[in-house]
A = this chain, B = another copy of it.
Amino acid sequence: MSKTIELAQHLEKLHINNMYKSDFYWTWDKTDEELDAIFTVADALRDLRERNKSTRIFDSGLGISIFRDNSTRTRFSFASACNLLGLTVQDLDEKKSQIAHGETVRETANMVSFMADVIGIRDDMFIGEGHKYQKTFMDAVKEGYRDGILEQQPTLVNLQCDVDHPTQCMADMLHIIHQFGGVENLKGKKIAMTWAYSPSYGKPLSVPQGVIGLMTRFGMDVVLAHPEGYDVMPEVEEIARKNAAATGGSYKKVATMEAAFQDADIVYPKSWAPFAAMEERTRLYQAGDQAGIDALEQKLLAQNAQHKDWTCSEEMMKKTRNGSALYLHCLPADITGLSCPEGEVDNSVFDRYLVPLYKQASFKPYIIAAMIMMSKVKDPVSALMALDAADKRKFF
C-alpha cells in the first residue's frame, strides 16, 4: 500500500466537511482536524509527485495571485501549487501597494474572477488593512457567485496578511512534524519565537503572530521573546494562550533571547516591527504624510539598533537543548557577515542549518496545494485514491 493510500485512509477519519468551498484566512479559524487534513494532503501530494504521478485535479482553471508587496518565494510557491493541480496563475499587478477601498475592491474582485478557481492574496503592509482587504475581496466574489456573475465560487488562500501568514507557518509546522518524527513527539517540546536584530525596517508581524497562533496547538511550550516595545497584536496572544490551555502545552513571554533559547528544542529568531509603530505607519500612509513616514522609519531603525545583542549567535545556540535546537527561518534572513554587518543570525549558524532551512521552505508549495485541494474538492479521499490508482504520469 502506497504512502498516499495510507494518508487517504487517515484523511477519511477526519471531520472535514466544512472545508469544501471554504476560505483560508487564519489557522485559528480551522479545527485541529482541518489542519491535520492540510498536512495529510500536503504529504500525499508530495508522495505522488515523488512517484511521478499526475496530481492534476483541474483540467483548466485560473489561480489569481495578488501580491500587494514584493515576493519571490511565496510567488513561486503559489505558482508551483497551482501548476501541481492543473491551474494557471494569472497575476493581478496593482503596481504599488496602496490602501484600496470598498467599491474599487468589490469591482476588481469580480472583474478578475470570471474564471478564477482560487485567489491567493498577500497584503501584509498595513496593520488593520491587510485582512480587511482580503475579506472585502472574498465577500465580493461570494456575492458575485450568488448573483450569477461568476459560474464558480473562488476560494481564498491567504498568502500573508497583517495578522497571520498561514502558508508559511503551516509549512514551518509540517517541517517540525517531519523533523521530530510525528506530531505525537511534540508534547512538551520547547519552541522559542524570538525577535532578532535586523538593519532593515518594518518587517511584518504576521510570522511571529502566525507561529504563536499555530504552534500552541500541539502541546508544545511556546515562548515569545522580544525587546520592550516590540509587542505583537494582543488578540493573537490571547489566541495563543487559549490554544495552550486546550492542548496541555504552555504559552509564555520572557524578556530576553537568552531565556527563550534556554533548553529550547526549536528556535525561530526573526526581526519584526513593533505593532504600535505599524499602526502609526498605517495612519501616516492614510494621511499621505510622507515626512511623518520618513521620520518614523528613522526612529524605528534607531530603536532596532539598540538591540543588536538580540542575534542568533553561536553562543546563543549553545544555550538550546544539547546546543542543537532546530533553527527555523522563513527566509530571507539577515545574516551577520554575509548579507549585512550585523543581523539576525551568525553566518556559521545559518550555514549549518542550510539543508533543513531549504526543506522547511519546500513544504510551502504542498501546503498551498493542499489548502486549494481541500477547499475545491468535495471528496478529497476519493480524489487522492484516484490519483494514486491512475497510471497518468507527470511526465513521459
Given A46-B151, A151-B50, A358-B144, A83 and B112 contact (CB-CB distance below 8 Å): no
A selection of 5 A-B contacts at a CB cut-off of 8 Å is A60-B84, A60-B394, A84-B115, A376-B395, A386-B396
Given A60-B55, A355-B149, A394-B58, A365 and B331 contact (CB-CB distance below 8 Å): no
Tell me whether A275 is interfacial, beta carbon within 8 Å.
Answer: no
Tell me whether A359 is interfacial, beta carbon within 8 Å.
Answer: yes
Beta-carbon contacts of A79-110 to B below 8 Å, as 1s and 0s? 11001101011101000000000011001101
Copies of this chain held together in the complex = 3
Beta-carbon contacts of A352-396 to B below 8 Å, as 1s and 0s? 000100110110110000000000110000010010000011111
Residues of chain A in range 321-345 having any CB-CB distance to chain B below 8 Å: 331-332, 335, 338-339
From B103, B361, B365, B395, contact of A59 by CB (8 A): B395
Tell me whether A186 is interfacial, beta carbon within 8 Å.
Answer: no
Q: How far is the CB of A221 from chain B (nearest CB, A)?
A: 29
Quick check: A377 and B361 within 8 Å, CB to CB?
no
Tell me whether A153 is interfacial, beta carbon within 8 Å.
Answer: no
Chain A: interface size category: 35 or more
Quick check: A107 and B377 within 8 Å, CB to CB?
no
Question: What chain B residues lie within 8 Å of A394 (beta carbons)?
Answer: 58-61
Most buried by B among A76, A147, A392: A76
Q: How far is the CB of A225 from chain B (nearest CB, A)?
A: 26
Question: What chain B residues lie within 8 Å of A49 (beta carbons)?
Answer: 151-152
Q: How far is the CB of A356 from chain B (nearest CB, A)?
A: 9
Tell me whether A290 is interfacial, beta carbon within 8 Å.
Answer: no
Instruction: Contacts A62-B83, A149-B362 known; list 8 others, CB within 8 Å.
Output: A57-B395, A58-B395, A72-B112, A76-B111, A103-B335, A117-B395, A147-B359, A377-B396
Q: Bound state CA distance, A104 and B89, in angstroms?
A: 26
Q: Bound state CA distance, A101 and B394, in angstroms?
A: 34
From B59, B147, B365, B395, contact of A115 by CB (8 A): B365
Q: Bound state CA distance, A362 and B395, in angstroms?
A: 26
Tell me whether A320 is interfacial, beta carbon within 8 Å.
Answer: no
From B60, B332, B338, contact of A83 by CB (8 A): B60
Quick check: A60 and B54 within 8 Å, CB to CB?
yes
Quick check: A72 and B92 within 8 Å, CB to CB?
yes
Tell me whether A288 is interfacial, beta carbon within 8 Å.
Answer: no
Tell me whether A73 is interfacial, beta carbon within 8 Å.
Answer: yes
| Shortest Cβ distance from A108 into B: residue | B72
Tell me whether A241 is interfacial, beta carbon within 8 Å.
Answer: no
Tell me whether A150 is interfacial, beta carbon within 8 Å.
Answer: yes
Quick check: A114 and B151 within 8 Å, CB to CB?
no
Q: How far is the CB of A155 from chain B (nearest CB, A)?
A: 12
Question: What chain B residues lie within 8 Å of A361 (beta carbons)?
Answer: 110-111, 114
Q: How far is the CB of A118 from chain B (nearest CB, A)?
A: 11
Question: What chain B residues lie within 8 Å of A386 (beta carbons)?
Answer: 396
Q: How far is the CB of A380 from chain B (nearest CB, A)?
A: 9
Question: What chain B residues lie within 8 Å of A77 (beta carbons)?
Answer: 114
Q: Bound state CA distance, A111 and B76, in angstroms?
A: 8
Q: Bound state CA distance, A342 and B352, in angstroms?
A: 58
Given A57-B396, A362-B114, A392-B59, A90 and B86 contact (CB-CB distance below 8 Å): no
Quick check: A61 and B83 within 8 Å, CB to CB?
yes
Question: What chain B residues lie within 8 Å of A181 (beta carbons)?
Answer: none
Quick check: B359 and A149 within 8 Å, CB to CB?
yes
Q: How far is the CB of A79 from chain B (nearest CB, A)?
A: 5
